[in-house]
Chain A
Amino acid sequence: MSEFFHMGGYALYVWLSYGLALVILVVNIIIPMQRRKKHIAMIKRRLRRTPAEK
């Protein structure tokens, strides 16, 4: 197992690459999820303020 993590001496380069990929891919999933929540909350707030208008 430690041999696997060692990556034949290239551990730093290989794991930094995979780590960066993981960070970038996950961040781009989280950003739209959070923005979506924020926008829906905002639309709901505006709807509460003017409930009669349609």
Chain B
Amino acid sequence: MWSFFHRLASPKHFYQFAGRLIPWLGWSTLVLFIIGIYLGLFVAPTDYQQGESYRIIYIHVPAAWMSMFVYMVMAISGGIGLIWKMKMADVVASSAAPLGAAFTILALVTGSLWGKPMWGTWWIWDARLTSELILLFLYLGFIALQSAIEDRRTAANACAVLALVGVVNIPIIHYSVEWWNTLHQGATVTRFDKPAMATSMLIPLLTMFLAFKLYFGLTLLMRARVEILERERDTTWMKEMITESGK
């Protein structure tokens, strides 16, 4: 088990392992999205308060959950890279950043599209929305900082520190709906008692969540492989692999 993880720390093995995993992940992600969207749009009943508009939940909530989850992945792998100087940790952190930014943008825009018909406004500076916007700026800051520093080692360290400091924002986002009075509704799923949501609406949501999770795994591996190609292009194993495969 441990030797498996040790080998994953080597770019060569990671590259090959990811290459084998990607087709499986790709097809299961696609199947889960099809099931989730089918359940969410056709099977789940109409909401008695919000009508059909609530169906935005099946995009908005998984995207918002992922925006925080990806941030934790980015910060933790950044931290691992900072402490143990692991090459692959930096690769994972920098591959996660643009994906996290994409999930955050999706959560913000779908939230806006949901807010307009339900709250009567596209945007309001309340705690939940503002802290999620700060999350987007943290991702963009990470990406900008990385491209601004020439030396790869220095860039990775600076970005890891930024990511770790920004972790403080994650509990703020999560608890914002409890700590402050906000227009945004409270948690419906992640509560200690049972979720305040009908099962017929919850199952599509959890399916979409799983689809988003696998999608992140898939795109993270794809991006990490490109990153390895770029960083390791002068190594012997890379040259041999590309010569042998002929493609």
Contact = CB atoms under 8 A, between A and B. Distances in A.
Interface of A: 4, 7-10, 13-14, 16-18, 20-21, 24-25, 28-29, 32-33, 35-36, 39-40, 42-44, 46-47, 54
Contact of B113 (A16, A36, A44): A16
Contacts of B110: 17, 20-21
B42 to A, nearest CB: 8
9 contacts: A8-B53, A10-B52, A10-B53, A17-B109, A18-B59, A20-B59, A28-B219, A39-B230, A43-B238
Interface residues on B, range: 35 or more
Interface of B: 37, 41-42, 46, 51-53, 55-56, 59-60, 63, 98-99, 102, 105-106, 109-110, 113-114, 116-117, 215, 218-219, 222-223, 225-226, 229-230, 233, 236, 238-239, 242-243, 247
Contact of A32 (B37, B41, B46, B226): B226
For the residues of A in contact with B, the DSSP-based class is: helix
Contacts, number: 85
Contacts of A9: 51-52
Contacts of A18: 37, 59
